Amino acid sequence: MIRVGIIGATGYAGGELVRILSGHKDAEIKWYGSRSYIDQKYADVYRNMFQIVDAVCMDDNMEELASQVDVIFTATPQGLCASLVNEDILSKTKIIDLSADFRLKDVKVYEEWYKIEHKAPQFIEEAVYGLCEVNRESVKGARLVANPGCYTTCSILTAYPLAKEGLIDMDTLIIDAKSGTSGAGRGAKIQNLFCEVNENMKAYGVASHRHTPEIEEQLGYAAGKTVTLSFTPHLVPMNRGILATEYAKLTRDVRWEDVKAVYDKYYEEEKFIRVLDRDVCPETKWVEGSNYVDIGFKIDPRTNRIIMMGAIDNLVKGAAGQAMQNMNLMFGLKESEGLELVPMFP
């Protein structure tokens, strides 16, 4: 049985980790860490866990936690994991960090976009970017995994095969993405109040969203060149889900069957990526509560562009589900263990 500790267990991603791990036959949560609710019953914070979780919330003492568990999930704001991790901790336990602290390989880029000093740059090179469908073999041997962001997971996986095969002009790539409000976290913010969000849609972080360099870096690896793209996120009045619509010029004439063959080359054997049939567009409602990524595309011969579309649940594949997928790989388990989650509808 894998002993699990969670730091940040009462945030939305942390709560989703608890929910999903509760159904994992080979894992047991030993530590529900939460600075905001120390000594309070976890089930009093999340009433859906009444008579399911009897534990109380503890602090974020990573030093003590490392001696008690086999893996630590850090579902925390940027900067916290980097401020706590050290060599002694990593010699005792594995860490899956759901923040951005170890996603970017250039510490200067991290500090520029996140406006904080990186406290543990010595571990950046070692950290494995935990996009399982791309870096599966590296994840298996890792002791520190940087779990990708929600927008980035959807955006990267939607374009990855075409970038890898040189089928799109990366200099023309534009990503337009929409997210439910849970992506903003559980903290109280005026702009996320019901009256601010309901019956409204808005762009934010225009030309400045911090997931931009993460998408550029990973698609740059795929394309074998430096990538600079436009990424615009939008907030929509729903709890969960991300829909990314991506536009790029084609580098050669292709038919639908040609593009589908490229997607199949990379994703046909992937449990959690579903490439949809011709003329079927992804919808967030068909992936809600699951670890699936639904991908569709449409060729526009009039403009010589391709429109790529992807949908995920931001709290599952975009956070907790992907983190558990990484855990399964790190401990040699079946990758889909605990993640056989059929999408919820309605």
pLDDT at position 65 is: 96
Per the annotation, the verdict on 281 as an active-site residue is: no
Tens digit of pLDDT at every position of the chain (346 positions): 999 999 999 999 999 999 999 999 999 999 999 999 999 999 999 999 999 999 999 999 999 999 999 999 999 999 999 999 999 999 999 999 999 999 999 999 999 999 999 999 999 999 999 999 999 999 999 999 999 999 999 999 999 999 999 999 999 999 999 999 999 888 878 888 899 999 999 999 999 999 999 999 999 999 999 999 999 999 999 999 999 999 999 999 999 999 999 999 999 999 999 999 999 999 999 999 999 999 999 999 999 999 999 999 999 999 999 999 999 999 999 999 999 999 999 9
What's the token pair of residue 97?
A: 């960090």
Catalytic residue among 150, 154, 195, 281: 150
Residue 93 CA to residue 115 CA, distance in Å, equals: 29
pLDDT of residue 253: 97
Structural domains present in the chain = 2-126 (3.40.50.720), 151-314 (3.30.360.10)
- Peptide bond before residue 233 is cis, with ω within 30 degrees of 0: no
Side-chain half-sphere of 29: how many Cα atoms within 13 Å? 28
Q: Which residues, at least 6 apart from 178, have a Cβ–Cβ distance to it below 8 Å?
A: 201, 233, 234, 235, 236, 242, 243, 244
pLDDT at res. 256: 98
Closest CA to 274 of 246, 238, 248, 313: 313
